[in-house]
Amino acid sequence: MRSGVSTAHSVVEPSGPAKLAAGFIVILYALLALTPLIWIGLTSIKTPPDSISYPPKVLPFVDFQPSLEGFCNLFNTRSRQTQDYINALPPPNGACEEITRSRSMVVVGPSNYTPRFINSLIIAFGSTFLSVLLGAAAAYAFSRFKIPLKDDLLFFILSTRMMPPIAIAIPIYLMYRELGLSDTRIGMILLYTSVNVSLAVWLLKGFIDEIPREYEEAAMIDGYTRLQAIWKVVLPQATTGIVATAIFCLIFAWNEYAFAVLLTSGAAQTAPPFIPIIIGEGGQDWPAVAAGTTLFLIPILVFTVLLRKHLLRGITFGAVRK
Partner 1 sequence: MSKGAMPVPAALVRHARGLSDRAIAWLFIAPTMILLLAINLFPLIWTIRLSFTNYRANRPNAPLRDVGIEHYQTILTDPDVWQRMQATAHFVFWTILLQTVIGFALAYFIDRKFRGHGFWTTIILIPMMLSPAVVGNFWTFLYQPQIGLFNYVISFFTGVPPSSFQMLGDVQLSPWAIIIVDTWMWTPYVMLICLAGLRSIPDYIYEAAEVDRASNWRQFISITLPMCLPFIMLAVLFRGIENFKMFDMVNLLTSGGPGSTTELASITLKRAAFEAWRTGYSSAFAIIMFVAIFGLANIYVKALNRVKAR
* Binding residues among 58-117 for partner 1 as defined by CB under 8 A: none
Please say which residue, 140 or 207, places its beta carbon nearer to partner 1.
Answer: 140
**Rounded CA gap, 241 and 253, in Å?**
18
Whether a cis peptide bond, with omega within 30° of 0, leads into 55 is: yes
Does position 122 bind partner 1 by CB under 8 A?
A: no
Ordered DSSP codes for 266-301: STT--HHHHGGG-EETTEE-HHHHHHHHHHHHHHHH
Ordered DSSP codes for 204-239: HHHHHHTS-THHHHHHHHTT--HHHHIIIIIHHHTH
Does position 226 bind partner 1 by CB under 8 A?
A: yes
Please say which residue, 85 or 257, places its beta carbon nearer to partner 1.
Answer: 257
**Rounded CA gap, 243 and 31, in Å?**
30
Does position 304 bind partner 1 by CB under 8 A?
A: yes
Among 122, 209, 243, 279, binds partner 1 (CB under 8 A): 209
Binding mask 161-190 for partner 1 (x = CB under 8 A): -xxxxxxxxxxxxxx--------------x
Count of beta carbons in the 10 Å neighbourhood of residue 21: 13
DSSP β-bridge partners for residue 64: 60
Please say which residue, 23 or 94, places its beta carbon nearer to partner 1.
Answer: 23
Please say which residue, 66 or 276, places its beta carbon nearer to partner 1.
Answer: 276
Among 206, 272, 280, 318, binds partner 1 (CB under 8 A): 272
Residue 307 C-beta: closest distance to partner 1, Å: 8
Among 79, 112, 184, 255, binds partner 1 (CB under 8 A): 255
